[in-house]
Amino acid sequence: MDLDNFADRDVAVAVAATAVVLSPPVRRVLRKGAVYGVAAALTAGDAISSFAQGAARGVRSATDSAGDAMRGAADDGEAATAGGEA
């Protein structure tokens, strides 16, 4: 084998795959990386979900407060109009 063969991409991929299959430390590192990666993805998903739920709750609260204020103003206006006619 020439030195040029080791620089070939296909040979490099084959060597890396062989190292992964035959080397317990490499498999252990890859397995840990996969576990930590999945855990990070789940944690990020939970954080995004709870942020979205909190934002939706805040919007609902704001619209409820605005609706109550509008109803209160309308009731005050009706009371003032009714009081003026009497």
Q: What is the mean pLDDT of each run of 10 residues along the chain (86 residues)?
A: 69 84 87 96 96 90 75 64 54
CA distance 14 to 22: 12
Range of the domain at 43: 3-85
CA distance 69 to 45: 36
Determine the pLDDT at residue 5. Answer: 62
CA distance 28 to 35: 11
Determine the pLDDT at residue 17. Answer: 87
Determine the pLDDT at residue 45. Answer: 95
Count how many domains the chain has: 1
pTM metric for this prediction: 0.51
